[in-house]
Amino acid sequence: MTATSPTPGLRARARRLLGRLGAVAIVTSVLTFPAAVTPASAADDEPDPTVSVEVAPSGAILPDAPLSAGVSLHNDTPDRLTEGLLTLAIDRTALTDSGALDSWLDDGTAPGVFETIAAQPTEAVRAQDIGVTGIEVPAGALTGLAPGVYPLRATLSNATTGTGDGLRSWNPSAGSVVVIQAAKPAAVSVLVPITATPKNGSLLTANELADLTAPTGALTAQLDGVAATGAILAIDPSIPAAIRVLGTSAPASATDWLNRLDALPNDRFALQFGDADAATQAHAKLNDLLGPADLTGLIKSSDFATSAPTPTPTPTPDQIEPALPDNTALTEVHGATPGILWPRSDVTDADLATFSRYLGEDALTVLPDSVLTGSAGARATADGHDVLVVDDAISRRLSAAVIADDTTARDAGIAAAQGQLFLAAAATPNRPLLIGLDRSEKRTAENLHAALAAVSTSPTGLAGMRDATPAQVESTATPEQGRATSLQAMLDDETRLRSFSTILEQPLVLLAPERTQVLRIIGVGVSEKSFPKQVIAHRSATVETLGAVGVQDPGPVQLFSSAAPLPVWIRNDLPWPVNLTLYTEPSDPRLSVQEQTTIVAGPASNTRVTVPVEARVGSGELEVQFRLTSPTGVAIGSPTSATVTVRADWEGIGLGILGGVIVVLLGVGVWRTLRRRRRAGAGPEQDAADTDASGPASEKESE
């Protein structure tokens, strides 16, 4: 036989097939063994250990005053950093605007020439440690500097790590600014949002409140930081609501925290519940702002019970009906100025009109100047609507400072904020300025207090800013429609849950957390990266809840009699009992069933239900459909069906056989009884006759 080679077309197809198989193999290996790939990639992306410098002046100074600066040396290498020389240099060309300051701090671009104003040796720094040192600049080195913002640079030299072939020299530098303050600083107020996010996305639990309001807790740090300052507090009402709804079960530290908050003299206003974003709701075309569901459904009467002794001598007190707070009392922020919204920045002039419809014509909206035209100071109007204007550049720098990991980083952030503040005051002279901190739950009391003390000068408060002469501005924001679309989808899910919740004795135990979770997901502080993940997770949880109750898939059922109970199992994965109606419908009239069965299914369990059935005619195989509804007729779960085999004639056959057996047994019994009686009735004569009859025979046999 002569072998033939494949045609070119077949070879080409074979190569393509092998190529595809190779690609599939590669993808499969990556998906199957990600651990084998990830470490190498992670190692490639991980930066080499370095030595870095961070510098921060101690604060703004007056002209011809000395300067103090703190410097941190970060040795991230595995070797000891030797002693070196630290120099401090200043650029005598002042920065002229916010953009120039950002260029210097972010890119290292400065407009002039640096000159050294101080130098001192540094101590050695252990491996993977931080060394902190201070450096003093005499007033003479800064002579001639007018009020302004000047670039400052710290440089480390003559420091090394390692030995021999591993010896390495380091010359890192870092930038900051020196603010030479004018004699009369601008009036500055700072908005401090106070928020807290529970793990369940609903209300803070008693354990979470205990942790947050402990002496070292995050909420305690917020009050410690704003105490004795002129900060304006923006408070999430869900925090006092979480404390009040617990009544006497609330941790003592949480109750004390709330009392302390109420006693602070600071101006304040309430954020929307859960810090929900009003702009997202306006973009979703909602007729009103979303509020929390009725939280009274989460109250336990026993946590508010009081007792009074009866007039009778009995020692047992009669429990009187407790006075429970309503939703308004639960969510109230005492002393709050009404009518203020602090949404995300994507607010258009049309949104401002919507806010006025939500809250009335006196609505006041807090917006950053980055989405507004013109220099306004703290007070403006946009298309006739009142606005409080937050300086975005100062706010970003100060927000970074209050969450800094160490003192030098904090002071560097404060110095940058002071520089931005000086430039903003120069651009809007004789007008109050407003700073708004980012939503954060990571601020320390020390950082927050230091930042407020450094920038909050002669704060005018809410009343002063509201009364200031407004500048005319216009919004340049572009709305984020993706959030609005997601909100509408979650509200549609909530509508389905509202219908579903009619199976519960108290629907609010499901609906109140659901609404709060939606409000938190559209919260102002939720990042662009986190938002879609939270929406997906929430909607998946909703689908899981809607499927938490249903009929267990039944297997084939054999009925061997004309009347018997049909077993059905009801699954309830919810933590509460549910009220249901089971509808049973056969596919054939040969089977008569009880059409409706009322059920109370226990929490987190499977409940067995028996449905009476009766076979009308003969036997056979048919389908029986089961479906559940709430007491109000809302369909619950998906309908399911079971194959039922009816053997109704087996009952008659079985009874006939059993009857025949009984008749035979009775007949045998009667016969034996009669025979026994007949023998007993013959008596002795019969016995003698029997003996005579047998005698001769016996004799003959013996003969």
Q: To which residue do tokens 């006196």 refer? A: 362
**For 252-261, what is the mean pLDDT?**
97
- CB distance 639 to 611 below 8 Å: no
> 681 vs 703, which has greater pLDDT?
681
Domain 549-650 matching CATH 2.30.40.10: the answer reads no
Q: How close are the terminal C-alpha atoms of the chain, in Å?
A: 111
Mean pLDDT for all residues in the chain? 86
Is the pLDDT at 617 greater than 50? The verdict is yes
Structural domain boundaries in the chain: 51-180, 188-301+327-473, 481-546, 549-650
Is the pLDDT at 162 greater than 70? The verdict is yes
Residue 119: which pLDDT band, with cuts at 50, 70 and 90?
Answer: very high
- Helix or strand or coil: residue 206? helix
Which of 621, 638, 619, 620 has its CA nearest to residue 629?
638
Is the pLDDT at 446 greater than 50? The verdict is yes
197-248 tens-digit pLDDT = 999 989 999 999 999 999 999 999 999 999 999 999 999 999 999 999 999 9
Name the CA radius of gyration of the chain, rounded. 42
Question: If you write DSSP's letter for every residue of 37-88 in order, what string do you get?
Answer: HHHHHHHHHSPPP-EEEEEEESS-B-TT--EEEEEEEEE-SSS-B--EEEEE
> 67 vs 24, which has greater pLDDT?
67
Residue 599: which pLDDT band, with cuts at 50, 70 and 90?
Answer: very high
**For 264-271, what is the mean pLDDT?**
97
- Helix or strand or coil: residue 382? strand
Confidence at residue 464, expressed as pLDDT on a 0 to 100 scale: 87
- CB distance 293 to 516 below 8 Å: yes
Confidence at residue 6, expressed as pLDDT on a 0 to 100 scale: 43
Burial of 439 (C-beta count, 10 Å sphere; 0-12/13-18/19+) = buried
464-514 tens-digit pLDDT = 888 888 999 999 999 999 999 999 999 999 999 999 999 999 999 999 999
Is the pLDDT at 615 greater than 70? The verdict is yes
Lowest mean pLDDT among 29-33, 87-91, 251-255, 321-325: 29-33
Structure tokens at 339: 């009518």
> 698 vs 582, which has greater pLDDT?
582
Burial of 58 (C-beta count, 10 Å sphere; 0-12/13-18/19+) = middle
Q: How far apart are the C-alpha atoms of 585 and 566, rounded to whole Å? A: 12
Structure tokens at 129: 């440690």
Is the pLDDT at 36 greater than 50? The verdict is no
Instruction: For residue 428, give the H/E element and its range.
Output: none
Strand 591-593 versus strand 129-137 pairing type: unpaired
Handedness of CA 316, 319, 320, 322 (dihedral sign): positive
Is the pLDDT at 332 greater than 90? The verdict is yes
Lowest mean pLDDT among 26-30, 344-348, 367-371, 379-383: 26-30
Is the pLDDT at 64 greater than 80? The verdict is yes
> 681 vs 228, which has greater pLDDT?
228
Is the pLDDT at 687 greater than 70? The verdict is no
- Residues 6 or more apart whose Cβ sits within 8 Å of residue 296: 324, 325, 326, 327, 330, 508
- CB distance 192 to 226 below 8 Å: yes
Confidence at residue 46, expressed as pLDDT on a 0 to 100 scale: 61
Confidence at residue 217, expressed as pLDDT on a 0 to 100 scale: 96
Confidence at residue 692, expressed as pLDDT on a 0 to 100 scale: 52
CATH of domain 51-180: 2.60.40.10
Which of 191, 188, 98, 187 has its CA nearest to residue 437?
191
Topology alike, domains 188-301+327-473 and 549-650: no
Q: What is the dihedral of CA 467, 471, 474, 479, to 10 degrees?
A: -40
**Long-range contact pairs involving 563-567 (C-beta distance under 8 Å, separation at least 24):** 563/612, 563/613, 563/614, 563/615, 564/613, 565/610, 565/611, 565/612, 565/613, 566/593, 566/610, 566/611, 566/612, 566/613, 566/624, 566/644, 567/608, 567/609, 567/610
- CB distance 355 to 282 below 8 Å: yes
Tell me the CATH number of domain 188-301+327-473, given options 1.10.8, 3.20.20, 3.40.190, 1.20.1530.
3.20.20
- Residue 33, phi then psi, degrees to nearest 5: -125, 60
379-435 tens-digit pLDDT = 999 999 999 999 999 999 999 999 999 999 999 999 999 999 999 998 888 889 999
Give the percent of the chain with pLDDT over 90.
Answer: 69
pTM of this prediction exceeds 0.75: yes
Confidence at residue 59, expressed as pLDDT on a 0 to 100 scale: 87
Confidence at residue 291, expressed as pLDDT on a 0 to 100 scale: 94
639-657 tens-digit pLDDT = 999 888 876 554 555 555 6
> 238 vs 182, which has greater pLDDT?
238
- Helix or strand or coil: residue 647? coil
544-555 tens-digit pLDDT = 999 999 999 887
Is the pLDDT at 454 greater than 80? The verdict is yes
- Residue 611, phi then psi, degrees to nearest 5: -110, 120
Give me the helices (H) in 227-326, please: 238-244, 252-263, 278-283
Q: How far apart are the C-alpha atoms of 368 and 388, rounded to whole Å? A: 8
Lowest mean pLDDT among 313-322, 373-382, 621-630: 313-322
286-304 tens-digit pLDDT = 999 999 999 998 999 899 8
Q: To which residue do tokens 């701090």 refer? A: 105
